[in-house]
A and B are shown apart, each in its own frame.
Chain A
Amino acid sequence: MNNQIFWIVLKRLRIPFLVIIVTFTISIIGMVLIPGVTSNGKPYHFSFFDAFYFVSYMATTIGFGEEPYAFTYPQRIWVSFSIYLTVIGWFYGIGTIISLIQDNALRKAISKNRFTKQIQYLSQKFIIILGYNNITKSIIEHINSQDLRTVVLDKDEIKIDQLVLNNFFPNVPAFVGQATDQQILKMAGINHKNCIGIVSLFENDIQNLKIATICRMLNKKIDIIVKSTSRQHTQLLLDMGLKHIQNPFDIISKRLYYGIIAPHIWLLEMWVYGNTLQLRHKDSFPKGKYIIFGKGRMGQAIIDGLNLADIQYTLYDATSQEYAQNKQSMVFGDTDDIKTLTDLGVTSAACIIAATRDDLFNLTVLKQAKILNPNIFTIARENSLEDTSIFQVSRIDKVFINEKILADITYNFLSRPLATYFIQEIRKQNEVWAEKLVANMKEMIGATAGYFELQVNLDETYALWLRLDNREAITLKDILRLRENRNSYSPVICLLALRDGTTHLLPNLNFNIQKDDKLLFAANAEAFEDLLYIINNIYELDYILNKNTLHPNWLFSKVFQSSKDKTAS
């Protein structure tokens, strides 16, 4: 209601309202003053009510006829005059009122109002996502399955319409507005007490930097997740005290490095992102000569990764745009191109990476390479998420999709806070260690082990918390037991414990659990559910800890005991 627009529209309603009032009044006064005749021929005057009734149905063109008695000629002359007066007045008035209600500015003001209200009443924790596209869509889907909400801002109205048509559940409040506008950010709830983070993954690094700066100014407490693909921007962001800067190319470089040097570390990392624990042929990158097509930001990242892994490579510096200009085609594979490939040593190379910005070009390069050397390992960069199906059928060994990497990492960061720590820690280990851990996990849990996080607090671990509150010492060994048989261990592995900012990778079974510890488990869903049951149910925990002072049916035993006492006395 405090909107400027609302008052302006209300002001514009004055004239139509006045027109209706005045025309009605003139007609009513005329009807009252002109004498009529009853059916018996007696003189008769309209009362104000009669006149109001008649004019109301006349002006709105409902027209019930001449009530209560047939009109005299003077009355009819007045009525024919007032029909034109009131009907025109009525249509003008109503027409203007309706068009004002549909006024674009007013509707925008109303939708703004509604959006602000929606944000105000958000009772769950929420994250502001800037820009709606394929990446953020998959982030929203992930987040919505957790106990978290999202708010979306996009400057493009069509994108917001797409989001509305997508029918997310729970509902995602969305609004059209510039992400760099402070007012809009405030409206989206950046200062709201439930706002925990903001995600800005725009293509443009400068825009991301700008948004990060504004958000840092507006709210110092929230997490800002921002994409940055160049070193100097990343440095600027680091200087601002931001911890969550995402560079998809940096991630690709690291992945390539671990894929070559330590496939099992890479496997564990992929497991965190939801893959199974099975190392397929495709997942271990070969050690041999590499050929890189395209020297953009991605090519540079790949070179960094290969240098780190001490792998030989040949770089072919071709951008897809240049190729398109020279050959008037995006399809790679005429005789010149085949010569280029053989000159690069495709027949003796172990792996070829197509990292240009054009999907079709990447595909055809890899296809040609595969023809020349059927054993070559192929890695492609996929740029647009729309045509995933082509990449799926083209039998490329490994496809890097920037968008997907970003979406996965962002989602992990938002809803699996321990994943980042875990990945950091395992990267410090060596391949032998990782292979052992993977073998261990596979043996105990199976290749489809699930990823679970837990925080020791009153909400998530009620019974355990009560015991810890009594200053009891409880170790991992004590609770990781089977519900059926407390003497054997349950198939749950604690991978990481986080306490006061220090991480303990693979804490051993004598690890003392303390309040507010954050624990990361690998287990299958059933075993983890059992674990949750144990640490939340007092009696279950008593049994598991072998401190079972109460009979399981303690109510029954109480009744039984008291009746026994009575008979004894």
Chain B
Amino acid sequence: MNLYKIISGFFFILAMTINFGFFYGNPIILAQHSSIELFAAIVINLIATVLKLGDKTQLGAVLLATSLVADIQLIASATVWTFAEYLTKSISVEAVTAIISLSGGALIANTISVILFIGDTLKSKR
């Protein structure tokens, strides 16, 4: 039992599940996707990234990389939403699909990250 492992594992998995929560729903209807969930996904992902900082091992480097990918995808998703809402006044179907599919990409990155994390845990003897 390692407190740091619990906290980091919690955030890695939470980042994936919240991301999934936002992604789940009809990809052309924005009303089925909550902005609060997107915000939460971004924050949890950033925290997960920070928790992965400074691990010198090969696995640590890959984990950090997947996390950075997820961050960029989610922030891009939020940026597209902001642009669509405030600059073009109405949110087109194209913008909606872009927002959702960007978060879908982040979901894949987060899934990989969680799989790697679980794999590492299973591999260790203790």
Would B50 and A7 count as touching, CB distance under 8 A? no
Looking at chain A's contact residues, the main secondary structure is: helix
Would A18 and B47 count as touching, CB distance under 8 A? yes
CA distance A103 to B39 in the complex (A): 34
Q: Is A13 part of the binding interface, using a Cβ–Cβ cutoff of 8 Å?
A: yes
Q: Is B56 part of the binding interface, using a Cβ–Cβ cutoff of 8 Å?
A: yes
CB contacts (< 8 Å) of B46 on chain A: these are 21
Contact A13 to B53, CB < 8 A, known contacts A21-B47, A48-B78 = yes
Q: Is A25 part of the binding interface, using a Cβ–Cβ cutoff of 8 Å?
A: yes
Q: Is B43 part of the binding interface, using a Cβ–Cβ cutoff of 8 Å?
A: yes
CB contacts (< 8 Å) of B38 on chain A: these are 48
B 21-77 contacts with A by CB, 8 A: 35-36, 38-39, 43, 46-47, 50-51, 53-56
Contact of A11 among B36, B39, B53 (CB under 8 A): B53
CA distance A300 to B88 in the complex (A): 95
CA distance A8 to B46 in the complex (A): 20
Closest to A18 in B: B50
Q: Is B121 part of the binding interface, using a Cβ–Cβ cutoff of 8 Å?
A: no
A 305-341 contacts with B by CB, 8 A: none
CB contacts (< 8 Å) of A8 on chain B: these are 54
Contact of A14 among B43, B53, B85 (CB under 8 A): B53
Contact A21 to B50, CB < 8 A, known contacts A28-B39, A47-B85, A48-B78 = yes
Contact of B43 among A4, A11, A25, A32 (CB under 8 A): A25
CA distance A122 to B38 in the complex (A): 51
Q: Is A12 part of the binding interface, using a Cβ–Cβ cutoff of 8 Å?
A: yes
CB contacts (< 8 Å) of A10 on chain B: these are 53-54
Would B51 and A7 count as touching, CB distance under 8 A? no
Q: Is B92 part of the binding interface, using a Cβ–Cβ cutoff of 8 Å?
A: no
CB contacts (< 8 Å) of B54 on chain A: these are 7-14
Minimum distance in angstroms from A8 CB to a CB of chain B: 7
Q: Is A462 part of the binding interface, using a Cβ–Cβ cutoff of 8 Å?
A: no
Q: Is A92 part of the binding interface, using a Cβ–Cβ cutoff of 8 Å?
A: no
Chain B contributes a number of interface residues (CB within 8 A of A) equal to: 17
Closest to B49 in A: A17
CA distance A29 to B35 in the complex (A): 12
Minimum distance in angstroms from A119 CB to a CB of chain B: 24
CB contacts (< 8 Å) of B39 on chain A: these are 28-29, 32, 48
Q: Is A49 part of the binding interface, using a Cβ–Cβ cutoff of 8 Å?
A: yes
Chain A contributes a number of interface residues (CB within 8 A of B) equal to: 20
CA distance A9 to B54 in the complex (A): 7
CA distance A480 to B51 in the complex (A): 77
CB contacts (< 8 Å) of B86 on chain A: these are 49
CA distance A391 to B102 in the complex (A): 80
CB contacts (< 8 Å) of A7 on chain B: these are 54-56
CA distance A21 to B43 in the complex (A): 7
Minimum distance in angstroms from B103 CB to a CB of chain A: 14
Minimum distance in angstroms from B31 CB to a CB of chain A: 15
Minimum distance in angstroms from B104 CB to a CB of chain A: 20
- A38-58 contact mask (Cβ, 8 Å, vs B): 1 or 0: 000000000111000000000
CB contacts (< 8 Å) of A47 on chain B: these are 35, 85
CB contacts (< 8 Å) of A22 on chain B: these are 47
Closest to B82 in A: A49
Closest to A3 in B: B56
CA distance A319 to B46 in the complex (A): 74
Closest to A28 in B: B39
Closest to A11 in B: B54
Closest to B46 in A: A21
Minimum distance in angstroms from B87 CB to a CB of chain A: 11
Minimum distance in angstroms from A30 CB to a CB of chain B: 12
CB contacts (< 8 Å) of A29 on chain B: these are 39
Closest to A4 in B: B56
The CB with the most chain A CB atoms within 10 A, among B36, B50, B51, B55, is that of: B50
CA distance A2 to B28 in the complex (A): 46
CB contacts (< 8 Å) of A48 on chain B: these are 35-36, 38-39, 78
CB contacts (< 8 Å) of A28 on chain B: these are 39
CA distance A374 to B73 in the complex (A): 93
Minimum distance in angstroms from A35 CB to a CB of chain B: 15
CA distance A251 to B43 in the complex (A): 75
Minimum distance in angstroms from A10 CB to a CB of chain B: 4
CA distance A8 to B54 in the complex (A): 6
Closest to A8 in B: B54
Closest to A53 in B: B82
Closest to A21 in B: B46
CB contacts (< 8 Å) of A14 on chain B: these are 50-51, 53-54
CA distance A9 to B46 in the complex (A): 19
CB contacts (< 8 Å) of A12 on chain B: these are 54
CB contacts (< 8 Å) of B55 on chain A: these are 7, 11
CB contacts (< 8 Å) of A4 on chain B: these are 56
Minimum distance in angstroms from B1 CB to a CB of chain A: 20
CB contacts (< 8 Å) of B47 on chain A: these are 18, 21-22
CB contacts (< 8 Å) of A18 on chain B: these are 47, 50-51
Closest to B83 in A: A49
CB contacts (< 8 Å) of B35 on chain A: these are 47-48
- A481-513 contact mask (Cβ, 8 Å, vs B): 1 or 0: 000000000000000000000000000000000
B 71-112 contacts with A by CB, 8 A: 78, 82, 85-86
Would B43 and A17 count as touching, CB distance under 8 A? no
Minimum distance in angstroms from A45 CB to a CB of chain B: 11
CA distance A264 to B8 in the complex (A): 83
17 contacts between A and B (CB under 8 A): A7-B56, A8-B54, A10-B54, A13-B53, A17-B50, A18-B51, A21-B43, A21-B50, A28-B39, A29-B39, A32-B39, A47-B35, A48-B36, A48-B38, A48-B39, A49-B82, A49-B85
Which residues of B line the A interface, CB within 8 A?
35-36, 38-39, 43, 46-47, 50-51, 53-56, 78, 82, 85-86
Given A12-B54, A49-B85, output 7 extra A-B contacts at Cβ < 8 Å: A8-B54, A11-B53, A11-B54, A13-B50, A17-B53, A21-B43, A25-B43
